[in-house]
Protein backbone atom coordinates (compact mmCIF):
# COMPACT_ATOMS: atom_id res chain seq x y z
CA UNK A 1 0.00 0.00 0.00
CA UNK A 2 1.32 3.43 -0.93
CA UNK A 3 0.78 6.69 0.89
CA UNK A 4 -0.85 9.51 -1.03
CA UNK A 5 2.49 11.34 -1.41
CA UNK A 6 4.20 8.19 -2.69
CA UNK A 7 1.40 7.60 -5.19
CA UNK A 8 1.49 11.24 -6.33
CA UNK A 9 5.24 11.12 -6.85
CA UNK A 10 5.11 7.84 -8.77
CA UNK A 11 2.38 9.28 -11.00
CA UNK A 12 4.40 12.45 -11.61
CA UNK A 13 7.57 10.52 -12.50
CA UNK A 14 5.64 8.19 -14.81
CA UNK A 15 3.95 11.05 -16.66
CA UNK A 16 7.24 12.91 -17.14
CA UNK A 17 8.95 9.75 -18.42
CA UNK A 18 6.16 9.22 -20.95
CA UNK A 19 6.23 12.86 -22.04
CA UNK A 20 9.97 13.64 -22.10
CA UNK A 21 11.71 10.27 -21.99
CA UNK A 22 13.68 11.36 -18.88
CA UNK A 23 12.60 11.55 -15.24
CA UNK A 24 12.12 14.92 -13.51
CA UNK A 25 14.80 16.46 -11.32
CA UNK A 26 14.51 16.38 -7.54
CA UNK A 27 13.73 20.12 -7.57
CA UNK A 28 10.88 19.50 -10.01
CA UNK A 29 9.57 16.67 -7.85
CA UNK A 30 9.75 18.86 -4.75
CA UNK A 31 7.81 21.65 -6.46
CA UNK A 32 5.24 19.26 -7.93
CA UNK A 33 4.46 17.76 -4.51
CA UNK A 34 4.69 21.13 -2.75
CA UNK A 35 7.36 19.95 -0.32
CA UNK A 36 9.68 22.33 1.49
CA UNK A 37 12.89 20.35 1.00
CA UNK A 38 14.44 17.69 -1.21
CA UNK A 39 15.04 15.43 1.80
CA UNK A 40 11.34 14.54 1.67
CA UNK A 41 11.74 13.50 -1.98
CA UNK A 42 14.74 11.34 -1.05
CA UNK A 43 12.59 9.48 1.49
CA UNK A 44 9.72 9.00 -0.95
CA UNK A 45 12.07 7.74 -3.70
CA UNK A 46 13.66 5.29 -1.25
CA UNK A 47 10.23 4.03 -0.17
CA UNK A 48 9.12 3.50 -3.79
CA UNK A 49 12.35 1.67 -4.57
CA UNK A 50 12.03 -0.56 -1.48
CA UNK A 51 8.48 -1.46 -2.54
CA UNK A 52 9.64 -2.43 -6.03
CA UNK A 53 7.90 0.32 -8.03
CA UNK A 54 11.05 2.09 -9.29
CA UNK A 55 14.72 1.34 -9.75
CA UNK A 56 17.56 3.86 -9.50
CA UNK A 57 20.35 3.21 -11.97
CA UNK A 58 23.81 3.68 -10.41
CA UNK A 59 26.38 6.23 -11.58
CA UNK A 60 23.89 8.13 -13.72
CA UNK A 61 22.24 11.47 -13.01
CA UNK A 62 18.43 11.56 -12.91
CA UNK A 63 18.31 7.83 -13.73
CA UNK A 64 15.03 6.45 -12.44
CA UNK A 65 13.23 3.54 -14.10
CA UNK A 66 9.60 2.62 -13.50
CA UNK A 67 9.48 -1.11 -12.72
CA UNK A 68 5.75 -1.43 -12.18
CA UNK A 69 2.71 0.68 -11.44
CA UNK A 70 -0.02 0.08 -8.87
CA UNK A 71 -3.47 -0.64 -10.22
CA UNK A 72 -4.55 2.92 -9.44
CA UNK A 73 -2.11 4.26 -12.05
CA UNK A 74 -2.57 1.60 -14.72
CA UNK A 75 -4.65 2.85 -17.68
CA UNK A 76 -7.04 -0.07 -17.28
CA UNK A 77 -7.43 0.58 -13.61
CA UNK A 78 -8.52 4.20 -13.72
CA UNK A 79 -12.20 3.84 -14.61
CA UNK A 80 -14.34 3.10 -11.58
CA UNK A 81 -11.35 2.38 -9.36
CA UNK A 82 -10.99 4.21 -6.08
CA UNK A 83 -7.48 3.65 -4.70
CA UNK A 84 -7.17 3.06 -0.99
CA UNK A 85 -4.24 5.12 0.17
CA UNK A 86 -3.06 6.54 3.45
CA UNK A 87 -3.66 10.28 3.58
CA UNK A 88 -0.32 11.99 3.92
CA UNK A 89 3.13 10.91 5.11
CA UNK A 90 2.41 11.31 8.80
CA UNK A 91 3.23 8.75 11.48
CA UNK A 92 0.39 6.46 12.55
CA UNK A 93 0.93 7.32 16.22
CA UNK A 94 1.78 10.63 17.87
CA UNK A 95 5.43 10.68 19.04
CA UNK A 96 5.74 10.30 22.79
CA UNK A 97 7.36 13.73 23.25
CA UNK A 98 4.96 15.62 20.97
CA UNK A 99 3.14 18.54 22.55
CA UNK A 100 -0.45 19.47 21.68
CA UNK A 101 -0.41 22.96 20.22
CA UNK A 102 -3.51 23.95 22.17
CA UNK A 103 -1.87 23.20 25.53
CA UNK A 104 -0.74 26.29 27.44
CA UNK A 105 -0.07 29.74 26.11
CA UNK A 106 1.98 30.45 23.01
CA UNK A 107 5.17 32.46 23.07
CA UNK A 108 6.87 34.35 20.27
CA UNK A 109 10.56 33.48 19.88
CA UNK A 110 13.02 35.31 17.62
CA UNK A 111 13.81 33.39 14.44
CA UNK A 112 17.52 34.11 14.06
CA UNK A 113 18.08 32.66 10.59
CA UNK A 114 19.28 29.28 9.37
CA UNK A 115 21.49 26.66 10.94
CA UNK A 116 23.52 24.16 8.92
CA UNK A 117 22.74 20.47 9.27
CA UNK A 118 24.98 19.45 6.39
CA UNK A 119 27.16 21.66 4.20
CA UNK A 120 28.40 24.65 6.25
CA UNK A 121 26.54 27.93 5.82
CA UNK A 122 26.92 31.37 7.34
CA UNK A 123 26.77 31.81 11.10
CA UNK A 124 23.63 32.88 12.91
CA UNK A 125 22.56 36.46 12.26
CA UNK A 126 19.89 38.39 14.13
CA UNK A 127 16.63 38.88 12.28
CA UNK A 128 13.30 40.53 12.82
CA UNK A 129 11.16 37.41 12.28
CA UNK A 130 9.49 35.49 15.10
CA UNK A 131 7.85 32.09 15.49
CA UNK A 132 5.08 31.10 17.93
CA UNK A 133 5.72 28.02 20.08
CA UNK A 134 3.78 26.35 22.94
CA UNK A 135 4.79 27.85 26.26
CA UNK A 136 5.61 24.46 27.80
CA UNK A 137 8.21 23.85 25.05
CA UNK A 138 10.44 26.55 26.55
CA UNK A 139 9.91 25.76 30.22
CA UNK A 140 12.93 26.48 32.39
CA UNK A 141 15.49 29.21 32.72
CA UNK A 142 17.47 30.95 30.01
CA UNK A 143 16.87 32.71 26.72
CA UNK A 144 15.36 30.70 23.87
CA UNK A 145 15.42 31.28 20.13
CA UNK A 146 14.46 29.50 16.91
CA UNK A 147 16.44 28.51 13.82
CA UNK A 148 15.47 27.00 10.48
CA UNK A 149 17.39 23.83 9.66
CA UNK A 150 19.20 23.68 6.31
CA UNK A 151 20.55 20.27 5.26
CA UNK A 152 20.02 16.60 6.02
CA UNK A 153 22.90 15.61 8.29
CA UNK A 154 20.58 15.12 11.30
CA UNK A 155 17.76 13.18 9.63
CA UNK A 156 18.38 10.01 11.68
CA UNK A 157 17.74 12.11 14.79
CA UNK A 158 14.36 13.09 13.33
CA UNK A 159 15.49 16.55 12.22
CA UNK A 160 14.75 17.37 8.57
CA UNK A 161 15.73 20.25 6.34
CA UNK A 162 13.09 22.96 6.72
CA UNK A 163 12.27 22.10 10.35
CA UNK A 164 12.33 24.85 12.96
CA UNK A 165 14.44 23.95 15.99
CA UNK A 166 13.98 25.60 19.39
CA UNK A 167 17.26 26.31 21.17
CA UNK A 168 17.95 27.22 24.80
CA UNK A 169 20.95 29.52 24.96
CA UNK A 170 23.60 27.83 27.10
CA UNK A 171 27.19 26.64 26.95
CA UNK A 172 26.63 23.95 29.59
CA UNK A 173 25.88 20.77 27.66
CA UNK A 174 26.45 17.07 28.16
CA UNK A 175 27.86 14.40 25.86
CA UNK A 176 25.09 13.29 23.49
CA UNK A 177 23.20 16.60 23.50
CA UNK A 178 22.28 18.13 20.14
CA UNK A 179 23.75 21.62 20.12
CA UNK A 180 24.28 24.76 18.11
CA UNK A 181 28.05 24.98 17.73
CA UNK A 182 30.00 27.82 16.20
CA UNK A 183 33.23 26.59 14.62
CA UNK A 184 36.23 28.91 14.44
CA UNK A 185 34.06 31.95 15.00
CA UNK A 186 32.04 31.93 11.77
CA UNK A 187 30.41 28.60 10.87
CA UNK A 188 27.25 27.63 12.75
CA UNK A 189 26.16 24.00 12.71
CA UNK A 190 23.64 21.71 14.43
CA UNK A 191 25.28 18.49 15.59
CA UNK A 192 25.45 15.98 18.44
CA UNK A 193 28.14 17.05 20.90
CA UNK A 194 30.79 14.86 22.51
CA UNK A 195 33.90 15.90 24.43
CA UNK A 196 37.00 13.80 24.97
CA UNK A 197 39.85 15.53 26.80
CA UNK A 198 40.88 18.61 24.84
CA UNK A 199 38.99 17.50 21.72
CA UNK A 200 35.38 17.99 20.69
CA UNK A 201 33.47 15.72 18.33
CA UNK A 202 30.53 17.08 16.34
CA UNK A 203 28.56 14.05 15.17
CA UNK A 204 26.07 13.96 12.33
CA UNK A 205 22.99 11.72 12.44
CA UNK A 206 23.38 10.62 8.84
CA UNK A 207 25.99 8.06 7.70
CA UNK A 208 26.70 10.19 4.62
CA UNK A 209 28.47 12.73 6.84
CA UNK A 210 31.67 12.22 8.80
CA UNK A 211 32.14 13.14 12.46
CA UNK A 212 34.20 16.31 12.82
CA UNK A 213 37.04 16.22 15.36
CA UNK A 214 38.10 19.67 16.55
CA UNK A 215 40.16 21.23 19.34
CA UNK A 216 37.92 22.54 22.12
CA UNK A 217 39.09 26.12 21.51
CA UNK A 218 37.78 25.89 17.93
CA UNK A 219 34.22 25.22 19.10
CA UNK A 220 31.87 27.56 20.95
CA UNK A 221 28.60 25.96 22.07
CA UNK A 222 25.83 28.54 21.75
CA UNK A 223 22.79 26.52 22.76
CA UNK A 224 21.06 23.19 23.25
CA UNK A 225 18.14 21.73 21.30
CA UNK A 226 14.95 21.65 23.39
CA UNK A 227 12.19 21.41 20.78
CA UNK A 228 11.27 21.10 17.13
CA UNK A 229 8.42 22.38 14.96
CA UNK A 230 7.52 20.75 11.65
CA UNK A 231 4.99 21.91 9.09
CA UNK A 232 3.38 19.22 6.90
Active centre residues (catalytic): 153, 191
CA distance linking residue 180 with residue 201, whole number of Å: 13
Select from 187, 190, 147, 140 the least CA-distant residue to 165.
147
Q: How far apart are CA 100 and CA 94, in angstroms?
A: 10
Asked if residues 179 and 168 have their Cβ atoms less than 8 Å apart, the reply is no
C-alpha 169, offset from chain centre: 22
Helix axes 4-20, 26-33, angle to 10 degrees: 130
In the DSSP assignment, the letter for residue 230 is: -
The H or E element spanning position 133 is strand 130-134
Q: Are the C-beta atoms of 68 and 52 separated by less than 8 Å?
A: yes
Amino acid sequence: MLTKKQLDLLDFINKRLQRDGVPPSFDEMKDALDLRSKSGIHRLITALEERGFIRRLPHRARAIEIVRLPEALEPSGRAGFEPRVIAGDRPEATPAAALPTQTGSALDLPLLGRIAAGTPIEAITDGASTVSVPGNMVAGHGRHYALEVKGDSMIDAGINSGDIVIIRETSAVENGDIVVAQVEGYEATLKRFRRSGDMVMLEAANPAYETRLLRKEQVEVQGKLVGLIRTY
